[in-house]
Structures are given as structure tokens and as C-alpha cells.
Amino acid sequence: MACETLLLFGATGDLARRMLLPSLFVLHADGLVPDCLQIVGTARSMLSDAEWRTMARQALAQFLPPDRIDDAQITSFVERLRYQPLDASQPEGFAALADKIGDSPRGIAIFLSTAPQLFEPTIAGLKAAGLTGENVRIGLEKPLGRDLASSRAINDAVASAFPEERTFRIDHYLGKETVQNLLALRFANMMFEPLWNANGIDHVQITVSETVGLEGRIDFYDEAGALRDMVQNHMLQLLALVAMEPPASFDATAIRDEKVKVLRSLRRIDADSAPSHSVIGQYAPGASRGEAVPGYTDELGKASHTETFVALKAHVDNWRWQGVPFYLRTGKRLPSRQSEIFIQFKQVPYSIFAKRGGRLKANKLVIRLQPEEYIRLLVMAKEPGMDREGITLREVPLDLSLTHAFAGARKRIAYERLLLDLIEGDPTLFVRRDEVEAQWEWIDAIRAGWTANQMEPKPYGAGSWGPSAAIALTERDGVSWHD
């Protein structure tokens, strides 16, 4: 008998094949989930258990790193898998789903990723089938709405069956190891926090650049655009972790209380400030990693006003961050895949080296999330020598390469961590409703600002760093993007 069940909606979809099944397999292989956990998959396709298991085997063969492939472990993993076809728009099917799950005394964790219009019927179906009891928690994958109003409607539908403490909103960036390491860097070390404010920091940059284009997600992406797809969730979560006050403890309430305060302190970018504080772009034909690639509208097959690039100048209006710009930038078809947080510290108040020719650069801290994971502090050092011609100072990196420092530790992908937390019921790395709503409120004002100013995305060549206006956005302040 199963002691616990993970119920996977969208079981035949891209996310399940690429990320969820491989992550679950690794948790299984590493002995991190109970032996009696069963994984029930559901989707519209009329598959049997055996057919879904075959699909899972194919997905594992395709998406697991080669060193993780182990036939015996794969065989024991797929034995956990069971499948129930379901048309979530039809209430009748949910009883069969409940039968398939059977008894699950230690509880059920649901992973729900579905089209927006299916949220309400799915929740209603789960409720009617008795799948919303006290030992059931629900994980929700994006997109959870396209603005504040639609996000509230989804949250209300979910709240009618699941209280907030059993609702786990996924932002997979919070599952990334270096993102969690940011908390360790800030709150497990003495040397950063005293400088972590407007006295010590000149500005912050957050870049999430991708080389990929549409990747076949035509309908979804064209409806969303870069602001909703990346800034509303991932980038604002990164900003909140950088800017938040020290939480009282490492627990879900304390951390999320501090994040939401930051999100609510974001200065609105509205109709007045949108033209000076935001830049939007859409990729035109160009070259990506040495190959000619088509433009966005060619891939889409129609004209579009959707932005594939956005750059913003944001401010957190509180004491700690007064006067410190947070520059955010994300886009598709940029020159490299690079996610990082870049902290530019202030210059020393006075240079004792100036009269001896020494030039100073202000310290910088780079927190690189991907493709590599490292934290690098750039500090000034004197070049070795007799200094007869003056003192030469040079910026040198103090590197904390997480890949090297923890070489023995297996690099885990975000969904491994988040699925395990969902199964075990730890909400710390999930997003609370008040955070999501504060995020949407800020994003909606920006979109309204674009509409009021009739702002259209400016074209940029695929493989470039976005429209030139994005460079001007920071250069006006005497700041260069850290590429």
C-alpha cells in the first residue's frame, strides 16, 4: 500500500518529461523519498500504467545526465508510477482518479500545472472527489494568471479548497542552490551586512539572459512576454532576496514576511516613468552561437507586439535602499546564457593612492546562478613591484566557486529540491499569495505605463544585448551593464 502519493497533473507534458520525472528519479535513486511513495500521473492522453512507464523511461534516457542512468534503478523507479487519464474539464473523471490513488494515509502532494482555464474545474473536481482533505497539499506551477485580477481569481479558486498553508506556489528560481546561497552569504557572514545598504552599495544589477528563442512555446509566450514570463516571478524574487531585511529565523513565515515588505516597497513604474525607466525589445533575425536564426515574428508566423526583452530601472523605497537603483534585464536570443546578481559597491571616500598614480575601482560582488555557480568578490590589490613609476593597483577576484568548494556534492536541479519540499510539506521556498499579488500589482502598473505611452518593443538583432536603449538606460546614470 502507498503511504504517500504524489499526484502529477500534466504527466505527459514537456515539464514532466524534461524536469519532473528526471528530478523524481534522482530523489528515488538517492533514497530521499519513502519507499512507499507512489507517483500517480494524469493528463488527457488515454495511456495505461505501462504506457506511461514507457514514456517515463524514454524521458529519463533523454534528459538524465548520462552518469545518472542506471537500469536497475530506473526499473525500480518506474514501478512507483501509475497513470489515470483525465479530462479535467469534466467533473466525472475525478472519482476514478481518487480510486486510482486509493488509500494514502500519510497524505497526498499534488503538482498542478495546467492551462489557466482548467484551474477552476480542476479544483472543483478534486474537491468533489474528496482529494482536498487536511493531509493534501497542492503545488501550483506557473502561469498563475496574466495580471493581478486573473491571479486573484486563480488564488480564490484554490483557496476555496486549500488553505494558504497547504498551497505551495512554485517559482523554480527559489529551488536553485545559488539563490539559497545568497541567504547564507548575507546572513551567515559578518562582513557583508553592514555594507548592504545605500551607504555601501551604489547599484544592483540582475540579469537573466537566454540564448534560446521561442522553443515552440508559441501561444504561451506570445500571450505572456518577457515581463510576465521572467520579471513578475523569478527576477522579483531575486530582487526581494537581495533587498530584504534579515529575517528573524530561517522559516517560511519569517522569510516570506521580509520578502513581501520589499515587494510592497517597489516604487511604481507608471505612465509618467515608464518611458524613462523601462525598455522593451523584440528579437529580429541575427546569429545565435554562430548560427543564423530567424526573428521572433518569423518563428511566430505573424506580427506581434510582445516583448522578448525587457530592461527596467527599479527602486525600493525604504530607508535601506534610498537612492540605489536596481537595474533588471532579461531577454531571449541574447549573446549568452547568464543569470547573475551584480552588486556594485561605492568608491572608498578618499583615495590615498591618487598622488602616486594608483587608480581605484569600487568593489563588486558577482553572484552567478548559471551556467556556472560562483560568488566572486572583486577587490583592489597592488601589482607586485618596486613602484618606482608609481603604484599600480589592480582588481583581482576573490572566488568562491561553489562547484569547486563543494566538488563532492552533487549539483541538484531546482525541481529536485522543490518536489522534495512539496512531498515533505516545507513551504519555505514557495511563494505566498501576498507576495504574488504584490508582484502583479507592480507589473500591471508597468504594462499600463507602456499602453499609456504606446510603447512598442524595439527590434534588436538576435545574438545582441537587446536594443541600444537598454544600454542608454544605465549609461545615463554613468553605469554599464556587467556582461
Distance CA 11, CA 45 (A): 9
What is the pattern of x (binds ligand BG6, CB under 6 A) and - over residues 166-205?
A: ----------------------------------------
- Binding flag, residue 4, ligand BG6 (CB under 6 A): no
Least separation in angstroms between CB 217 and ligand BG6: 7
For residue 207, what is the enclosing H or E element?
A: strand 201-209
Q: How far is the CB of 250 from ligand BG6 (least distance, A)?
A: 23
H helix count then E strand count, the chain: 17, 17
Provide, rounded to whole angstroms, the least separation between the CB of residue 63 and ligand BG6: 13
Closest Cα to residue 159, out of 175, 174, 140, 146? 140
CB closer to ligand BG6, 210 vs 299: 210
Residue 365, classified by CB atoms within 10 Å of its CB into exposed (0-12), middle (13-18) or buried (19+), is buried
- CB 168 to ligand BG6: min, Å: 16
What is the 3 state secondary structure string of 133-183? CCCEEEEECCCCCCCHHHHHHHHHHHHCCCCHHHEEECCHHHHCHHHHHHH
Give CA–CA dist 20/39, Å, rounded.
11
Of 28, 203, 234, 315, catalytic: 234
Residue 229, interface with ligand BG6 (CB under 6 A)?
Answer: yes
- Smallest gap, in angstroms, from Cβ of residue 229 to ligand BG6? 5
Q: Which of 4, 202, 210, 437 binds ligand BG6 (CB under 6 A)?
A: 210
207 binds ligand BG6 (CB under 6 A): no
Which stretch of DSSP H or E encloses residue 185?
helix 177-187
Is 234 catalytic? The answer is: yes
Cβ neighbours of residue 434 closer than 8 Å, sequence gap 6 or more:
256, 260
339 binds ligand BG6 per the rule CB under 6 A: yes
By beta-carbon proximity to ligand BG6, the closer residue of 57 and 142 is 142
> What string marks each residue from 375 to 394 as x (binds ligand BG6 by CB under 6 A) or -?
--------------------
**Residue 4 contacts residue 107 (beta carbons within 8 Å):** yes
Write out the H or E segment, with its range, that includes residue 474.
helix 468-475
Sign, CA dihedral 232-237-243-246, equals positive
Minimum gap (Å) between residue 419 Cβ and ligand BG6: 15
Residue 229 or residue 437: which is nearer to ligand BG6 going by CB? 229
Cα angle 321, 323, 324 (rounded to 5 degrees) comes to: 60
CB 158 within 8 A of CB 130: no
**Shortest distance, CB of residue 321 to ligand BG6, whole angstroms?**
25
Q: Which helix (H) or strand (E) is 291 found in, with range?
A: strand 291-293
Closer by beta carbon to ligand BG6, 49 or else 177: 177
Q: Which is nearer to ligand BG6, 14 or 441 (CB)?
A: 14
In the range 78-97, which residues lie near ligand BG6 by CB under 6 A? none
Q: Which is nearer to ligand BG6, 201 or 242 (CB)?
A: 242
d(CA 318, CA 157) in angstroms, rounded, equals: 34
Site size with ligand BG6, rule: CB under 6 A: 3
- Residue nearest ligand BG6 (C-beta atom): 229
Q: What share of the chain is helix, strand, coil (3-state, %, to 5)?
A: 40, 20, 40
Distance CA 224, CA 222 (A): 5
DSSP string of 78-101, one letter each residue: HTTEEEEE--TTSTTHHHHHHHHH
Q: How far is the CB of 113 from ligand BG6 (least distance, A)?
A: 11
CB closer to ligand BG6, 222 vs 229:
229
Say if CB 314 and CB 206 are below 8 A apart: no
**Residue 125: exposure state from Cβ atoms within 10 A (0-12, 13-18, ≥19):** buried
Residue 260 vs residues 79, 158, 230: alpha-carbon distances, Å: 42, 20, 18
The least CB distance from residue 210 to ligand BG6, in Å, is 6
Residue 210 or 437: which CB sits closer to ligand BG6?
210
Cβ-based nearer residue to ligand BG6, 237 or 363: 237
> What are the distances in angstroms from CA 333 to CA 211, 226, 294, 337, 421?
4, 12, 10, 9, 33
Q: Does 5 bind ligand BG6 (CB under 6 A)?
A: no
Which residues are tagged catalytic? 234
Q: Give the binding site for ligand BG6 (CB under 6 A).
A: 210, 229, 339
